[in-house]
Structure formats: structure tokens, C-alpha cells
A = this chain, B = another copy of it.
Amino acid sequence: MDGISVEELQLATRNHGMPLEALRWDLTPIGLHYLLTHYDIPLVDADSWRLEVGGLVERPLAVTLDELRARPTVELTSTMECAGNGRARLSPHVVSQPWLSEAVGTAAWLGTPLGALLDEAGPTAGAAEVVLSGLDRGVEGGIAQSFERSLPLQETLDGDAILAWQMNGAPLPPQHGFPLRLVVPGWYGMANVKWLSRITVVDEPFGGYQQSRGYRLRLEEDEEGVPLTRMLPRALIAPPGVPEFLTRERTLAAGPCALEGRAWSGHAAIAAVEVSTDGGATWAEATLGEAPSRWAWRRFGFEWDAPPGRYDLCCRAGDEAGNVQPLEPRWNVGGYANNAVQRVVVNVE
């Protein structure tokens, strides 16, 4: 891997991944869930805050937090992953938030369905997309902007997306979007707009920076590409044994070792997880446990009788839509969606 610049380090010390030992929990404790903040965490006064719904709708709305809380509520346990997870493993190097494999987390979100609120506003003929605008502001690609992304209208009407004000039973922490965020289960993190302030129904593809330039899959700089949508499958093992402080290489006592991890896909349910102890030369099937919900990661286990030696543990997930993790990274301009298999070096003594 190439060296990381001071700019990338500034991002890496602000944002943070989920330490992989947290794969032991179905629900990621607050503070361990991955976090990417494009600009600054805004300070929002919940009393004066309103969610506006406008654009191509019959009945524009401006609703308070109490009014949202009075609507039907849904609890949604959802695994969320940054589209840039795995970016720092790509070569040539892609300059942005340098994630290795830890940009993930699972939370129980409480909120109200997005589709029902949009139905109430009533999209008019010609409505095609829904633009979600956050209160976080900054400059990116030379453009001053609020963070904004769009979703296809049909996805917002038929999908399971919610407007959430609670995370793991507590009010949203400031960094996860207080007072309200969108949670779009199965989609990469960029769709789950935080500090949500406005929903605008539009009749053409949204041209905002995060839709037309950021978060697009492109193999060449001048290619139009396609916006990132759903998470590709990924399995991660909680590294066994104990780590060396700097290298994070693991030391493990020889003998039976119960490997454990979690696997997810935004396209379909996880169909299988395989484990390799020889760097991907041979594979064996892991035992699948339950997922806390349709949209959350699924536990897997693998009984390993570890002989002394040095091992390169890997795991790979496949989903019911036929997607399987590749052994090697697939490079793209923005460094997105690199779901190449995880490798964990273990010294068994």
C-alpha cells in the first residue's frame, strides 16, 4: 500500500471504523458503529427544526419532530456500510477517506416509514426522484454544498426506508444525524442522509455533486458512470487470539478455536459463507446463524482446530442473487465497493 497523506490522515482521525472485535455483537454499541462525516457535524436546535417536503407534490409539508413521532413507528435493524469501505486496499491509490475493511455497523433504528409521508404529500405526475438534503455544509469538488443525495421515487414509495430519530433505543447522537436521518436498508451509507432537513420531489435525475460526481462507479475519470446503490456482499471474521499493538497480527494458542463473524449483502439474503485458513487456496463452508432482521448482517461460525504455524485466514460471502466476493480488489476511480475478501494473519503457537 502507498503511504497515506496528511489530508487523508485528517479524515481518518475524525471518522472511524468499527473495531472488528465488535463483530461479536448483533447490534453495534454506540460509538463503535462506523462514522463518516463529509463536512462538520452540525449543531441543530430540535425545537425550531422542521422537515420540509416539497417540489412536485400536491401538499407540501413542514413537520416537527413531535409530529413525526406521532406517526406510525417502525424499528428497523439495518447493517450500514460506507461505499468507500476497502478503498485503502486499492492500487493505484485512491485519495479520499482511507478505509481498510471496518467501515460498517449495525443499529436498531426507530422511525416512521418514508413512503407513507411521501404518499401523504402526494407526488404529482412526472415525479421521478426524491432528493434528500442534510444540514451539513461544506465544499467538495470546488462546490459549496449541503450533503444531498437522491433516490428513485419508486424506491422511496415501495422500499423499507425510514426517517429515524432513535438509534439503539436512544435519541440519535449528534454524529449520527440528530434530530432526524434517513435509513435506507441495503444501500451504502451515502444514501442514509443525516441531519435531514428537506425532501424534494423532482422530475429528472438529480445533478447534485454527491449524485453526479461523487459516489459513482467509474473505471475512467471522464466516464459518466453509475451512482452507487446497494451493498455488495461482504463477510468479516472477528480476528481470533490477541493482537500485536502496531501490526495487529494475531497470536493464538494451538487447539480448537471457534471463529465467528458476520456477513451481509444489500442485494439479497446471505446464501453461504466460506472460510479459508490458507489464504484462499482451499475453502470450507461456515455454519450460518440467524440475522437479526432481513436487512442486518448474519452471524457465521467456523470450528477451526488450529495447528501451530502462520495462517492467512479469509472468508467470503455469497448472496441469493448470485453475488460472491472476489479474491482481489476491483479498482475504480472513486475507490468504491471494494468487497475483496478479508485477510487476517494469525500466528498459532
Q: Mark A242-276, 1 if CB is under 8 A from B, else 0.
A: 11111110010000000000000000000000000
Residue A43 lies at the interface, judged by CB distance under 8 Å to chain B: yes
Specify which chain B residues have a CB less than 8 angstroms from the CB of A103 in the assembled complex: 13
Question: Are B30 and A246 in contact (CB-based, < 8 A)?
Answer: no
A39 contacts chain B at the CB level, 8 A cutoff: yes
For residue A251, which residues in chain B have a CB less than 8 angstroms away from its CB?
139, 144
Which residues of B lie under 8 Å from residue A7 when comparing CB positions? 246-248
Cα A140 to Cα B247 in complex, Å, equals 10
Is A327 interfacial (CB 8 A cutoff)? Answer: no
Interface residue? A131 (CB, 8 A): no
- Residues from 1 to 51 in A contacting B, C-beta threshold 8 Å: 1-17, 19, 21-22, 24, 29-33, 35, 37-41, 43
Q: Is the CB of B4 within 8 A of A9?
A: yes
Which interface class (under 10, 10 to 19, 20 to 34, 35 or more) fits A? 35 or more
Is there a chain B Cβ closer than 8 Å to A207's Cβ? no
- Give the residues in chain B near A41, CB-CB below 8 Å: 19, 21-22, 32
Q: Are A32 and B246 in contact (CB under 8 A)?
A: no
Query: Of A93-101, A121-129, A150-158, A277-285, which binds chain B?
Result: A93-101
Is there contact, CB below 8 Å, between B246 and A95?
A: yes
Name which residue of chain B comes closest to A176, CB basis.
B31
Chain B residues contacting A308 (CB-CB under 8 Å) are: none
Q: List residues of chain B with CB within 8 A of the CB of A59.
A: none
Q: Answer yes or no: A173 CB below 8 A from chain B CBs.
A: yes
Nearest chain B CB to A248 CB, angstrom units: 5
A160 interface residue (CB < 8 Å to B): no
A95 and chain B: residue at smallest CB distance: B246
Whether, in the assembled complex, A138 has its beta carbon less than 8 Å from a beta carbon of chain B, the answer is: yes
Contacts of A32 in B (CB 8 A): 41, 173-175
Chain B contacts of A6 at CB under 8 A?
1, 88, 100
CB of A75 closer than 8 Å to a CB of B:
no
Extra contacts besides A21-B40, A139-B251 (8): CB < 8 Å: A13-B98, A21-B41, A22-B174, A24-B43, A30-B30, A31-B31, A40-B243, A95-B246
